[in-house]
Amino acid sequence: MQCRFCKFSSPHQDLIFKHYRTCHWSVNATSFPCLHLECVCIFKTIGALKTHLWRVHPKTGNKGNTTFSCDNCDFRDICSQSTFLHHLRGHLKNHERVHCPFLNCNFISNSYRTFTAHNNRKHKSHGLNDFRISVCPENRCNDASPSSSLGCAPNLDEEVQVHLDEEVQVHTTDTPDDNPAETKQALEHKLAALFLCMQTQLHVSKRASQHISNAVTDILTISKSNTLAAIKDILQSHNCDVDQSVFTDIAHVLHETDPFLTACSHNGILSTEHKRNSYFKQKFQVTEPIEYVFSRADKQTFFYVPLLKVLQTLLDQPEVFEKTFTTNESAHGFYQCCFDGKYFKENRLFSSQDFSLVLGLYIDDFEVVNPLGTARKKYKLTAVYWVILNWPSQNQSSLNSIQLALLGKSSEVNANGYEAFFDPLIKDLKCLEQDGVFVQKLGKNVRGTVFTVSADNLGAHGLAGFQESFRVEKFCRFCLASLNNIQNTEVREGIFQLRSPEQHDCCITELNSSETLSSVDGVKSECVLQKHLKFFHTITGFPPDLMHDLFEGIVPFEISLCLKKWIDSKYFTLEELNNKIHSFQYCFSDQVNRPQKIAKTFSSKKTIGGNAHENWTLLRLISLMIGDLVPESDKTWHLIMDLKDIVELVVSQKLTVEAVWYLESKISCHRELFKEVFPDAYLRPKHHFLEHYPHLICCFGPLVDLWTMRFEAKHSFFKKVVHETQNFRNLLKTLSNKHQLMMACAIDSHSFFKAPLHVENVKVLKISSLDARLRLAVENKYANQTSFSLTTKATVHGTQYSRGMILCIGNENGFPEFGQIDHILICGTEVAFIVHRFTSWYIEHFRAYEINQSTHCDVAIVTPQELVDFYPLAAYNVGGRRMVVPKRFLLG
């Protein structure tokens, strides 16, 4: 057997488990994959893994099938030993008396627990040739010794088996052991990792960690007398006449070799906070943040984490290297990632090299304390993060993938300017552009640069050098539209001149040549990144922020206007609406993001409030909540449904050129309808930004890959540190150091990225055991397979799938074809979904699909790659009909 993380192998299962614990166990990401290479199951504990091995991967003797007959009923079938004992379990659960099926055993019981204990105690090593002839007349082995069988009886009870497995491991004495010195170092490292995790993942303060260390050390020291007494009792029970000094020496050695006492007692390598920090820096890959000074007189500082050092550390990790330099070509005519956009293809650095490091920055201000409290703005920080855009989008969204670059107080950053704040980062980026970073596995330097900067509109305008107000004449960073003109002119008319690198450079030149001009066409200064970097430009480097434009801007604004009109029209009351929202039967991920009740002040505030996820869910499901209360001819309803269509298109991760044209048409129609329904309402600047989205998708690729939502989730780490430690002295140093220790803890774990497929519980079946329809479907999909595994839950690239979810599996007669997950099939290392087919019919008023059982072949097997959209949906019952509401635009 071989370790799934490294090349370590051993014929002894217990040593593989020990190797897992000592070499690949990590506090922040504990997972134990199955020892069989063809199995994809991953478990959180060793006990769960042992139970899985016992039930699903029994030893060789159990793999063969033979004919079994049951003494209690008419059961007679060709099956495995495990399947037969599972059958007996059914009799035991009904409290029927079951005769032990093994040779020369007269044990009879009607207790499931008793029978299980007997089976594990007396027949653990017995296999097929050890059954009574009346039970198993075929496939008898010539070997007369029951103990020589390769098989072993599978367990009928998880709790008992886990306990017995642990007992076997403890008393195993005939297996080789690891090098004691190496084991000591590994245990020492794991103990240090535990302390590191306590400080960075569990947010335990340093003082509390020291208190725990001292208390456990004292307890273990005091227990020395108990150890001495226990040793004396054992030796005396075996009639060993040993001198008192021998007892003392044995107890002393046991305590001296205890890994915790050795490391944490007086003079131990982890005994104090200072020693632990020294160990972390020496043994873990910690990239320490560097303090820079704004003003020594005012004691204004900020912290920078060296980008080149972090890049070097990350690219030395095998899995990071693979994700970074594995290219996946997109199909022609599709926008699937930022590499498909016009700006990437026209970048001189990226287009001139086979391999380039493509970086995305993010800048934002955030409060680490209650923004409504007395310390408001006192602890407001500015953070700059970065991520490698070469990675697939599912890996970019992981919080471990988002790296810290700069951290400073917002007031001090504003006072001293971005030029000083970005200076150390700019120096590293210039070096990356000119010389690159050495990649050992490629044997050469790889150059790179910043491609995009994600930020909210205010942050983007501040860093890019545009005016930081959206009430000025030239408010848009994408074109030269005037604020007054956007009410009567739309972007697609072509009247507004789009900003270009050449035009922007002219504005900068005009600004620099005049001492009186404060701005030119909305440009007030040159972006610090454009000023110093050779391959970055402001116009091609700042994508829009759809999260704030749509989910915290247009969506809550327009929903509030429409709700007021519907309530005024007596379709329903606010109380009835809130009851609908509260009582709606949300399913799966919608339960997590369920919208809040609408406040009574929504009309005066012209917003429904709520965060981005909640507003998105409300927009998706509002048609199912109140669609039957609003007439089909209501134009206000058409307006909000058009907005729903626009959102589905904008958040799609895969778009065709035709879909982009359709989006442009939809936005134009929505604009006209808004002016018709609400003639006295003004279009907001975010409406104008939305009109640029079709063009910007062609330039940047899918905008959802560059939005700020996942970056904002990174703020939560710093907020938790402050909340748990309540330490505001040297706040920037504390936060940046803790973050880098947390990243070192993540790199130290056996897997930097989450496993692409995560499954915990499977059931192994023979294809021959399936019913005719399902067997035919499996055989058509996997012609050479004789067995496979089934499960009801699986996580694929971070997306959770479970029984009952709805997937879009194809198209039929111009409409999407849906399938409901019955089981999830694991064949080797591949996953597929066994679904029941549903035909669909589009209900225009609800902007949803009514699904019905398919009239032809109702069972299908589809892989994740064959899905029209990977996001799982839910079927909701509305007026006796099953309705499915897409989350993204479903390509035909």
Write out pLDDT tens, residues 515-544.
Answer: 889 999 999 999 999 999 999 999 999 999
Mean pLDDT of all residues in 106-123: 85
Residues 822 and 776 in one domain: yes
| 244 lies in some domain | yes
Please state the φ and ψ torsions of residue 744, each to the nearest 5 degrees: -65, -40
Mean pLDDT of all residues in 295-311: 92
pLDDT the model gives residue 376:
65
Q: Quote the CA–CA distance of 517 and 714 in Å, as a whole number.
A: 39
Residue labelled with tokens 């001149």: 497
8-state DSSP, 20: I
pLDDT the model gives residue 701:
95
Residues 670 and 730 in one domain: no
Residues 803 and 672 in one domain: no
Q: Which of 508-512, 736-740, 810-814 has the lowest mean pLDDT?
A: 810-814
pLDDT band for position 856 (cuts 50, 70, 90): low
Percent of the chain residues topping a pLDDT of 70: 90
pLDDT the model gives residue 373:
58
pLDDT the model gives residue 29:
52
Q: Which of 84-88, 311-315, 393-397, 644-648 has the lowest mean pLDDT?
A: 84-88
pLDDT at 596 over 60: yes
pLDDT the model gives residue 543:
97
H or E element, residue 409: strand 403-409
Three-state SS at 832: strand
| 267 lies in some domain | yes
Residue labelled with tokens 């926008």: 335
In sequence order, what are the residues at sequence separation of 6 or more whose Cβ sits closer than 8 angstroms to the Cβ of residue 878?
624, 627, 628, 846
| 230 lies in some domain | yes
Q: Quote the CA–CA distance of 611 and 563 in Å, as a whole number.
A: 18
CA atoms in the 13 A half-sphere facing the CB of 278? 8
303 vs 245, residue with greater confidence? 303
pLDDT band for position 280 (cuts 50, 70, 90): very high
Residues 679 and 825 in one domain: no
Mean pLDDT of all residues in 238-255: 82
Q: Quote the CA–CA distance of 477 and 480 in Å, as a whole number.
A: 8
pLDDT the model gives residue 521:
95
Residues 124 and 212 in one domain: no
Q: Quote the CA–CA distance of 88 and 102 in Å, as a whole number.
A: 13
Mean pLDDT of all residues in 66-86: 76
pLDDT at 237 over 70: yes
CA atoms in the 13 A half-sphere facing the CB of 590? 24
- Asked if residues 386 and 360 have their Cβ atoms less than 8 Å apart, the reply is yes
| 50 lies in some domain | no
pLDDT the model gives residue 452:
97
pLDDT the model gives residue 372:
60
Q: Which of 95-104, 735-744, 762-771 has the lowest mean pLDDT?
A: 762-771
CA-CA-CA-CA dihedral for 278, 284, 287, 289, to nearest 10: -40
Mean pLDDT of all residues in 753-779: 80
- Asked if residues 160 and 118 have their Cβ atoms less than 8 Å apart, the reply is no
215-223: long-range contacts, CB 8 A cutoff, minimum separation 24 = 216/260, 216/264, 217/260, 217/261, 217/264, 217/265, 220/255, 220/258, 220/260, 220/261, 221/255, 221/261, 221/265
Mean pLDDT of all residues in 101-126: 84
In sequence order, what are the residues at sequence separation of 6 or more whose Cβ sits closer than 8 angstroms to the Cβ of residue 441?
321
- Asked if residues 719 and 465 have their Cβ atoms less than 8 Å apart, the reply is no
Residues 456 and 496 in one domain: no
Residues 559 and 504 in one domain: no
Three-state SS at 419: helix
Count of domains observed in the chain: 6
Instruction: Tokens for 735, please give them.
Output: 């936060």
pTM: 0.82
pLDDT band for position 144 (cuts 50, 70, 90): very low
Q: Quote the CA–CA distance of 406 and 420 in Å, as a whole number.
A: 11
Which residue in 226, 266, 270 sits closest to 247, CA to CA?
A: 226
Residues 310 and 269 in one domain: no
**Considering 671, 691, 711, which residue would you say is the last residue of a domain?**
691
Three-state SS at 656: strand
The alpha carbon of residue 424 and the mean position of all alpha carbons in its chain are separated, in whole angstroms, by: 31
372 vs 349, residue with greater confidence? 349
- Asked if residues 624 and 883 have their Cβ atoms less than 8 Å apart, the reply is yes
CATH number at residue 808: 2.30.30
Q: What per-residue string of b and e applies to 636-663 under the rule 16 or more CB within 10 Å gives b?
A: bbbbbbbbbbbbbbbbbbbbbeebbebb
Mean pLDDT of all residues in 115-130: 81
Q: Average pLDDT over the chain, rounded to whole? A: 86
8-state DSSP, 571: S
Instruction: Tokens for 285, please give them.
Output: 């890959």
| 399 lies in some domain | yes
pLDDT band for position 169 (cuts 50, 70, 90): very low
Which residue in 135, 104, 132, 105 sits closest to 118, CA to CA?
A: 105
Phi-psi region of 499 (alpha: psi -120 to 50; beta: other; left: phi over 0): beta
Instruction: Tokens for 82, please give them.
Output: 């495990």
Three-state SS at 69: strand
449 vs 83, residue with greater confidence? 449
Residues 236 and 381 in one domain: no
Q: Quote the CA–CA distance of 820 and 830 in Å, as a whole number.
A: 19
Residues 374 and 460 in one domain: yes
Please state the φ and ψ torsions of residue 303, each to the nearest 5 degrees: -120, 140
pLDDT band for position 128 (cuts 50, 70, 90): confident
Model confidence pLDDT, tens digit, residues 768-805: 777 788 888 888 888 777 777 888 899 998 899 999 99
Give 3-state DSSP helix, strand, coil % of the chain, rounded to 5. Answer: 45, 20, 35
Model confidence pLDDT, tens digit, residues 316-369: 998 899 999 987 777 788 999 999 999 999 999 998 888 899 999 999 999 998
pLDDT the model gives residue 595:
94
Q: Quote the CA–CA distance of 709 and 545 in Å, as a whole number.
A: 9
pLDDT the model gives residue 26:
60
Domain range holding 442?
290-465+721-748
| 10 lies in some domain | no
Q: Quote the CA–CA distance of 703 and 478 in Å, as a whole number.
A: 15
- Asked if residues 216 and 264 have their Cβ atoms less than 8 Å apart, the reply is yes
Three-point CA angle 707, 711, 715, nearest 5°: 150
Residues 373 and 394 in one domain: yes
pLDDT the model gives residue 286:
94
Q: Quote the CA–CA distance of 66 and 128 in Å, as a whole number.
A: 8
| 712 lies in some domain | no
pLDDT at 158 over 50: no
Mean pLDDT of all residues in 802-819: 90
pLDDT at 160 over 60: no
Rg, C-alpha atoms of the chain: 33
The alpha carbon of residue 556 and the mean position of all alpha carbons in its chain are separated, in whole angstroms, by: 27
pLDDT the model gives residue 155:
40
Mean pLDDT of all residues in 199-203: 86
Distances (CA, A) of 138 to 67, 96, 151, 278, 578: 6, 26, 16, 66, 68
**Considering 647, 675, 691, which residue would you say is the last residue of a domain?**
691
Model confidence pLDDT, tens digit, residues 37-51: 667 777 777 777 777
Model confidence pLDDT, tens digit, residues 602-614: 999 999 999 999 9
Q: Quote the CA–CA distance of 110 and 136 in Å, as a whole number.
A: 21
Three-point CA angle 50, 51, 52, nearest 5°: 90
| 868 lies in some domain | yes
Residues 453 and 472 in one domain: no
Burial class (CB in 10 A: 0-12, 13-18, 19+), 680: exposed
Which residue in 277, 254, 270 sits closest to 200, CA to CA?
A: 277
